[in-house]
Structures are given as C-alpha cells and as structure tokens.
C-alpha cells in the first residue's frame, strides 16, 4: 500500500501537515494566512489536487479544509482584536474585501460584533465588569 503524500494531524494543540520526507511537521495556521485562507493555494503549496487535499483533510480531521480555514481565520481575527488592532486593520490583514464583510463573518462566527468584542476586552483589561 502506498504511503500518503500528506497527512494532516493535531500536534501540541496545532494543526500540522506531515509529509513523509520532511523532518518536521509544518504548522498550517501560518500557511493558511500566507495563502490568503484559500484552499486552492494550499493545494498548490502541497502539490495536491483539490480533491486529494479535501479527501486527506476530511479523513485526518473530520472537517473540510474550507471549514477549517474559516475557523482559523476567525481565530486569528479574534487574536488581532484582542491585541488591540483596529477592526479595519484586522479585516485588511486577514484578506477581507471590506470591513463590513469582516464584521458580518465575525458576528456569524462568534455571535458578537467585533466592536462589542473589543469593548468587552477593553473592560476586562481595565478590570471592569462586562
């Protein structure tokens, strides 16, 4: 049986790509950001077809690469906002076409607007009650 060209796994709380000839697994979060959170660009990076990559991802993690990329993008959005980045800045850094699109996606994912999220974070930092 042929050994798979790529495996996707959780290692130390991170999603990584494991290739048979590579000494270390590659963390996927930075690669997701570098490729603009696009499945097609990740496929090209690993020299796999969209179908192969999708199948590998589903078999290894139980979710589609598109769903994982959406989640990862929102995790990184939350981190940027927690670090005090402006909403407009976070939207641009994560490749959203507009602040409105970013806000809509953030609200759908976290059930709170980015503005309200930042207000709560500010209150927590200042020791206030949220």
pLDDT in tens, 13-55: 899 999 888 888 999 999 999 999 999 999 999 999 999 999 9
* β-strands 14-18, 26-27 pairing: antiparallel
Closest to 14 measured CA to CA, from 2, 30, 3, 1: 30
> Taking all residues of the chain, what is their mean pLDDT, rounded to a whole number?
91
**In which residue are the tokens 């949220």 written?**
130
What pTM does this model have?
Answer: 0.86
With tokens 């598109």, the residue in question is 66
Domains in the chain, ordered, with CATH? 7-62 (no CATH), 70-125 (1.10.10.60)
3-state secondary structure (DSSP) of residue 25 = coil
pLDDT at 1 over 50: no
The single residue listed with the structure tokens 């809509």 is: 104
Residue 68 CB contacts under 8 Å (≥ 6 apart), including other chains: 15, 28, 57, 61
Give the DSSP H or E segment for 77: helix 65-82
């Amino acid at each position: 049986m042929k050994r798979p060209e790529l495996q996707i796994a959780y290692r130390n709380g991170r999603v990584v790509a494991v290739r048979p000839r590579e000494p270390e697994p590659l963390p996927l979060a930075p690669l997701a950001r570098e490729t603009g959170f696009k499945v097609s660009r990740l496929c090209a990076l690993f020299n796999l077809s969209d179908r192969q990559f999708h199948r590998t991802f589903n078999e290894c993690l139980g979710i589609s690469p598109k769903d994982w990329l959406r989640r990862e993008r929102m995790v990184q959005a939350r981190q940027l906002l927690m670090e005090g980045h402006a909403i407009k800045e976070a939207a641009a850094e994560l490749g959203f076409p507009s602040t409105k699109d970013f806000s809509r996606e953030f609200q759908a994912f976290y059930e709170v607007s980015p503005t309200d999220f930042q207000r709560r974070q500010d209150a927590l930092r200042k020791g206030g009650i949220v």
